[in-house]
């Protein structure tokens, strides 16, 4: 397909990576360390090093994250993360997204949905962020959706048995976390969310963007 870029709008929905960025529950080891391997005082080229927990910032999880024999990034089919998607407005949800919240939308099999919540507007990413509860996750797996993304650093919170992650992984639903959806209106878009390629890894950073 030939894309006329004059008519193409691109919306960046990725978190900037820096030491002081919001990280999951404020955990220190999740903070990126950015250092300089070489600069123009030591040589003729500038080179930066990045030390990064793979669940920091905007990223994709694979089943290995929560399931010991789950698959890892080399088995990811890119057509699952470069795809049509729908942004759903759930900004009125206070604490967690349940099946009842999701039933208001006409979600269909094969949909990739992005959940826009108050996380995108409030400084709660490290604390009491809005997440998808177990019933919400089970509802989505029953519908056989393709993927789900959310504007929190975790799709679950306060679940010692990780029911939300595991239920989605067991149905091979893609999980995107750490999206920035503040300026994105509800509607249909093309999503590009390919992770960097680290064979054997259970997650990887994504430069996620929407196109219309």
**Span near Zn ion by CB under 5 A; candidates 79-87, 90-98, 109-117, 174-182:** 174-182
Binding mask 113-152 for Zn ion (x = CB under 5 A): ----------------------------------------
Residues near Zn ion (CB under 5 A), total: 3
Residue 155 beta carbon to Zn ion: minimum distance, rounded to whole angstroms: 8
What values do phi and psi take at 148, rounded to 5?
Answer: -140, 135
Phi, psi of 79, rounded to the nearest 5 degrees: -65, -10
Stretch that binds Zn ion, among 60-68, 85-93, 100-108, 185-193 (CB under 5 A): 60-68
Listed in sequence order, the residues at least 6 apart from 112 whose beta carbon sits closer than 8 Å to its beta carbon are: 83, 84, 85, 86, 145, 146, 147, 148, 149, 174, 191
CB of 56 to Zn ion, least distance (A): 9
With binding defined as CB under 5 A, does residue 165 bind Zn ion? Answer: no
**Phi and psi (nearest 5°) for 172?**
55, 40
Task: Tell which residue, 86, 78, 79, 82, has the closest CA to residue 189.
Answer: 86
Instruction: Answer yes or no whether residue 61 interacts with Zn ion by CB under 5 A.
Output: yes
Check if the beta carbon of residue 87 is closer than 8 Å to that of residue 191.
no
Residue list 37-56, contact with Zn ion (CB under 5 A): 55
**By the criterion CB under 5 A, which residues form the site for Zn ion?**
55, 61, 177
């Amino acid at each position: 397909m030939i894309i006329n870029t004059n008519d193409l709008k691109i919306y960046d929905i990725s978190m900037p990576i820096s030491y002081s960025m919001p990280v999951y529950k404020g955990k220190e080891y999740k903070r990126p360390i950015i250092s300089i391997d070489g600069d123009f005082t030591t040589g003729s080229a500038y080179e930066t090093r990045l030390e990064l927990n793979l669940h920091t910032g905007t990223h994709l999880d694979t089943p290995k994250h929560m399931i010991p024999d789950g698959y890892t990034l080399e088995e990811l089919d890119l057509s699952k993360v470069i795809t049509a998607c729908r942004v759903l407005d759930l900004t009125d949800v206070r604490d967690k997204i349940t099946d009842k919240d999701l039933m208001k939308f006409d979600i269909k099999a094969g949909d990739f949905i992005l959940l826009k919540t108050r996380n995108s507007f409030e400084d709660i990413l490290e604390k009491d962020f809005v997440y998808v509860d177990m019933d919400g996750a089970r509802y989505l797996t029953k519908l056989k959706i393709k993927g789900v993304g959310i504007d929190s650093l975790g799709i679950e919170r306060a679940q010692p048995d990780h029911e939300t992650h595991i239920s989605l992984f067991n149905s091979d639903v893609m999980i995107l976390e750490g999206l920035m959806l503040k300026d994105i209106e509800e509607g249909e878009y093309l999503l590009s969310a390919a992770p960097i390629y680290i064979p054997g890894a259970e997650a990887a950073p994504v430069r996620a963007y929407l196109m219309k």
